[in-house]
């Protein structure tokens, strides 16, 4: 069996004590995973998830090294997740993605030998959609910055992460559009800037600029730049155009670089604000930030926009993904007239 220290220690997990005979082995396996993930430009969120699943996989098999395991051990772990922990199909598949990444990208083991692994079948669910009246009620119960963020989630059809990652340069007030970069499909797209939020957004960005100037005076003011742009453009990290549109309230330490700077708002803060607004509005649906995006798509289709246009605005790779919204148009069950109404 391999040394326990070769796996490293994932935050929040049990501490693995060094093996005196093998403690000099470097780099540790989880550090190798992190390195490869960063080389391939995976997000920090994905990095945390993958490292966590790999760590759990190893610990489940008594810290046995993955090289000494294979299809049988992977299947046992996936069964444990489904049967004992009762995780969803999406969560089970994410765990499998992480393990396949480990074998294929880090350990350079051909995953073709794992031909009998079974991916969990995701259930087909209809997305929750707010009516226009419910959207209005929700907006009436949001205030300040969170009102503005909710308005952009719905008015531009943004994913939560896309909204949080917006930079000053992505907002074009002259052409009334927003450029969404580094999307889920790794392609940029352009979405409309709602006219109703234009004035509020301009006022918000004036306040953000004042905050940025204050940070610069205090020796901060730099922001995280993707894909080594900070090395290529030495002063870009402190330029106004690269700042986040929705910056965090406090300076924090970057978990990757260790640099203290201002990042964007935490997603949990936005999620909590939307949840509270839904509750105050008395909406009897399970609504989240993503529900506003679902509502954006559905209401566009109701207004007569063709599905290809909606597909492009949402950034879906396949039109079949967008087709799900045709099932929730304001027509009742698939547009069928109930026989009860013919009596």
Read off the pLDDT of residues 119-159 as tens digits, 9 standing for 90 and up.
Answer: 777 767 788 999 999 999 999 999 999 999 999 999 999 99
What is the DSSP secondary structure assignment for residue 128, as one 8-state letter? Answer: P
Q: What H or E segment, with its residue span, contains residue 6?
A: none
| 122 within 8 A of 163, measured Cβ to Cβ | no
The CATH classification of domain 132-328, taken from the options 3.10.310.30, 2.60.40.10, 3.30.420.10, 1.10.443.10:
1.10.443.10
| Residue 224 tokens, joined | 């995280």
Neighbours of 168 (CB within 10 A): 17
pLDDT at 5: 38
User: Could you confirm whether 184 is annotated as catalytic?
Assistant: yes
User: Could you confirm whether 234 is annotated as catalytic?
Assistant: no
Q: Name the nearest CA neighbour of 273 among 155, 148, 142, 130.
A: 142
Q: How far is CA 218 from CA 104, 238, 243, 252, 267, in A?
A: 46, 13, 16, 14, 26
Evaluate if residue 99 carries a pLDDT over 80.
yes
Helix/strand/coil for 325: helix
Tell which wins on pLDDT, 2 or 342. Answer: 342
pLDDT at 71: 87
Integer Cα distance of 268 and 112 in angstroms: 39
Rounded to 10 deg, the angle between the 144-155 and 195-217 helix axes is: 130
pLDDT at 198: 95
Integer Cα distance of 140 and 283 in angstroms: 12
pLDDT at 228: 67
| 252 within 8 A of 215, measured Cβ to Cβ | no
Strand partners, 167: 244
Residue in 167, 293, 294, 299 annotated catalytic? 293
Read off the pLDDT of residues 258-297 as tens digits, 9 standing for 90 and up.
Answer: 889 999 999 999 999 999 999 999 999 999 999 999 999 9
pLDDT at 114: 67
Integer Cα distance of 48 and 210 in angstroms: 33
Integer Cα distance of 234 and 20 in angstroms: 43
User: Could you confirm whether 159 is annotated as catalytic?
Assistant: yes
pLDDT at 132: 94
Residue in 167, 262, 264, 316 annotated catalytic? 316
Task: Find tokens 């991916």 and name the residue.
Answer: 119
Read off the pLDDT of residues 158-202 as tens digits, 9 standing for 90 and up.
Answer: 999 999 999 999 999 999 999 998 787 678 999 999 999 999 999
Stretch 214-231: mean pLDDT, rounded? 85
Phi-psi region of 176 (alpha: psi -120 to 50; beta: other; left: phi over 0): left
Strand partners, 172: 177
Residue in 159, 167, 262, 294 annotated catalytic? 159
User: Could you confirm whether 305 is annotated as catalytic?
Assistant: no
| The pTM of the whole model exceeds 0.85 | no
**How do the domains of the chain map onto residue ranges?**
4-113, 132-328
The CATH classification of domain 4-113, taken from the options 3.40.50.150, 1.10.287.610, 3.40.190.10, 1.10.150.130:
1.10.150.130
User: Could you confirm whether 290 is annotated as catalytic?
Assistant: yes
Phi, psi of 116 (to 5 degrees): -95, 0
Give the model's confidence band at 27: pLDDT under 50 very low, under 70 low, under 90 confident, else very high. Answer: low
Neighbours of 339 (CB within 10 A): 7
Strand partners, 180: 189
Residue in 41, 122, 184, 279 annotated catalytic? 184
């Amino acid at each position: 069996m391999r040394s326990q220290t070769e796996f490293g220690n994932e935050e929040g997990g049990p501490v693995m004590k060094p093996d005196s005979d093998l403690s000099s082995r470097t780099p540790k396996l989880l550090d190798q995973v992190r390195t490869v993930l960063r080389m391939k430009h995976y997000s920090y969120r994905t990095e945390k998830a993958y490292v966590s699943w790999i760590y759990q996989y190893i610990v489940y098999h008594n810290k046995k090294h993955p090289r000494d395991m294979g299809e049988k051990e992977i299947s046992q772990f996936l069964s444990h997740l489904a049967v004992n922990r009762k995780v969803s199909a999406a969560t089970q598949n994410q765990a499998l993605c992480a393990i396949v990444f480990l074998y294929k990208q880090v350990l350079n083991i051909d995953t073709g030998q794992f031909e009998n692994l079974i991916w969990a079948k995701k259930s087909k669910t209809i997305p929750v959609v707010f009516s226009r009246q419910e959207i209005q009620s929700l907006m009436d119960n949001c205030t300040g910055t969170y009102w503005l963020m909710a308005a952009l989630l719905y008015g531009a059809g943004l994913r939560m992460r896309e909204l949080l990652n917006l930079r000053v340069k992505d907002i074009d007030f002259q052409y009334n559009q927003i450029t969404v970069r580094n999307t889920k499909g790794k392609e940029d797209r352009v979405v409309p800037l709602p006219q109703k939020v234009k004035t509020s957004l301009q006022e918000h960005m004036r306040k953000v600029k004042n905050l940025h100037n204050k940070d610069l005076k205090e020796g901060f003011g730099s922001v995280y730049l993707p894909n080594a742009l900070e090395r290529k453009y030495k002063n870009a990290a402190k330029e106004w155009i690269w700042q986040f549109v929705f910056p965090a309230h406090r300076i924090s330490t970057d978990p990757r670089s260790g640099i203290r700077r201002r990042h964007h708002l935490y997603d949990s803060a936005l999620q909590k604000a939307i949840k509270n607004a839904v509750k105050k509005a008395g909406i009897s649906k399970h609504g989240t930030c993503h529900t506003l995006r679902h509502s954006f798509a559905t209401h566009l289709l109701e207004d007569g926009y063709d599905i290809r246009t909606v597909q492009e605005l949402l950034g879906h790779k396949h039109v079949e993904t967008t087709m799900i919204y045709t099932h929730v148009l304001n027509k009742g069950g698939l547009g069928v007239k109930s026989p009860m109404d013919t009596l």
